[in-house]
Amino acid sequence: MLEKNINFVEAALKEYYFNNFELIHVPSRTSEREFGYQKFNSGMTRHLTIKNDKDLHFLLMTQMPSDVYCSNACYSFPNLPMSEKDWKEAELIFDIDAKDLKLDCRKNHTCFKCNSCQCINEQSSKCIKCNSDKFDVISVTCQNCISETKKEVQKLVQVLTEDLAINKEKILVYFSGNEGFHVHIENSEYQTLDSRERADLADYIMFNGVIPETLGINRQNNSKMLLPDIGEKGWRGRVAREIFGTKSKRPKIIQEILLGGYSAFQSRLEEMRHTIGVRIDPKVTMDIHRIFRLGGSINSKSGLSKILCKDLENFDPFSDACLLGDEKVEVLANYPISFRLKNKKYGPYVGETISVPKHAAVYMICKGLADVTQ
């Protein structure tokens, strides 16, 4: 990022933190957590310990980080190197990101910034200006992306509460600050699971690795008695509801399944991963040493806040997580696609100098769509 952009965004973030200390807190068991932060154009500083909110706020004011992180794990010695930290346990975490959902709308709000000449392209084959084939992918998030990721969160919450018996009050859903949601589970019996065990749990949530036998379809001697019923709990019930829909259709569909045989049913289950399975990022759930974006902090990929969603259905990240100031700022913008923030439409812009509110300016700069003019 250009120096002038860094100075502007750092100042905006500092102002946000100064005015919103009540939004950013250290988590419980603070002394057992590892903290870390990043600054613009710089690497990660981690293995830090922070005692309380006051120390955290001091760090935000003095270091002016672009991003702040905290471990979901608790350690005996969080500030030592990883091999000496003495891992105790880690909260379960899930990441659902719009970019992993491969939505059709994505091509409508994605463009490609040439690494050589910074020209904005709508295609990623060759730069229209300099013929380079190296690009940064730039995407803003649309309402469809958010509503589809919300659906995945709702599916996740259903599996967590019904199958894993996790109390709803312990499930904290955060907007990630960019293109999706982070789900944190507080104080569950799953905290002591290691990485491999979490990988299998992630597969369960994603409906990965299911075999037809689980649903009552064998290679030989199939019986309709073994097929799942729509009233069953867990994945068998979900599959039954997906396949049969209603009870009246059941006999006909059973006939089709039995006729189709093992391989056809296996393919059908494979397809169902994308419909009934929850599309979490398994790498995040498996990682028991991760430092995860701290709630209340700003995501430097967008300038939006990672914020707790108390009412997911009505949550609008483009208003509710857009918490930087409204003062007008002049920027040079270049983005061929429009986007909305705080109910206002921006763009498309073709190398134009425009005056926009600070939150929109930070958003565009963080996304690489604009530079400050001063």
Partner 1 sequence: MLQLGIKELAKYPFLAETGDYLRDKGFNLEQLSDPDWKPVVEKAYGRIVVATTGQIYGGDIENPDLEILSFVIGIILLKSAGISTLNRRFSLAEARRAERYLEQGLNALQKDRTILENLKLKEESIQSSLKIIQDLFSIQVEMEDDRLKIRIADYLKRAVHFNEREWKLVNRQVESGYVYLSSHEIVRLVRKELDVYINSKIQSVSVSFIPETFRERVGDLVLLAKKFSTTVIVSSDYPPCVKHAIEVLDKGENLPHSGRFMLATYLLAKGQTVEQIAPLFKNAPDYNERVTKYQLEHIAGSSGKGTKYVCPSCEKLKSENLCFAIPECDGIINPVQFGTRRKTNA
190 binds partner 1 (CB under 8 A): yes
Establish whether 136 is a catalytic residue. Answer: no
Q: Judged by CB under 8 A, does residue 238 bind partner 1?
A: no
Stretch that binds partner 1, among 24-32, 107-115, 195-203, 347-355 (CB under 8 A): 195-203
The reply on whether position 82 binds partner 1 by CB under 8 A is: no
Q: Is 204 in the site for partner 1 (CB under 8 A)?
A: yes
Binding-site residue total for partner 1 (CB under 8 A)?
30
Is 256 among the residues that bind partner 1 (CB under 8 A)? no
| Chosen residue from 42, 84, 108, 209 binding partner 1 by CB under 8 A | 209
Encoded tokens for 49: 């310990």
Site for partner 1, residues 114 to 173, rule: CB under 8 A: 162-166
95 is catalytic: yes
- Cβ partners under 8 Å of residue 362, min gap 6: 8, 9, 12, 303, 324
Show the tokens assigned to 196: 């491999």
Q: Which two tokens stand for residue 113?
A: 């910034």
CA angle 192, 194, 197 (to 5 degrees): 110
Burial 19-56 (b: 16+ CB within 10 A, else e): eeeebbebbeebebbbbbbbbbeeeeebbbbbeeeeeb
CA angle 352, 357, 358 (to 5 degrees): 100
Active site residue 320: no
**Among residues 214, 276, 325, 348, the one that binds partner 1 under rule CB under 8 A:** 214
Three-state secondary structure of 26-79: CCCCHHHCCEEEECCCCCEEEEECCCCHHHHHHHHHHHCCCEEEEECEEECCCC
Given 53, 55, 163, 281, the catalytic residue = 281
Instruction: Please say which residue, 23 or 201, places its beta carbon nearer to partner 1.
Output: 201
> Can you tell me which of 29, 51, 196, 344 binds partner 1, judged by CB under 8 A?
196
Residues in the chain: 374
Q: Which residues bind partner 1 (CB under 8 A)?
A: 162-166, 189-190, 192-197, 199-201, 203-204, 207-211, 213-214, 219, 233-236
Active site positions, annotated? 95, 97, 281
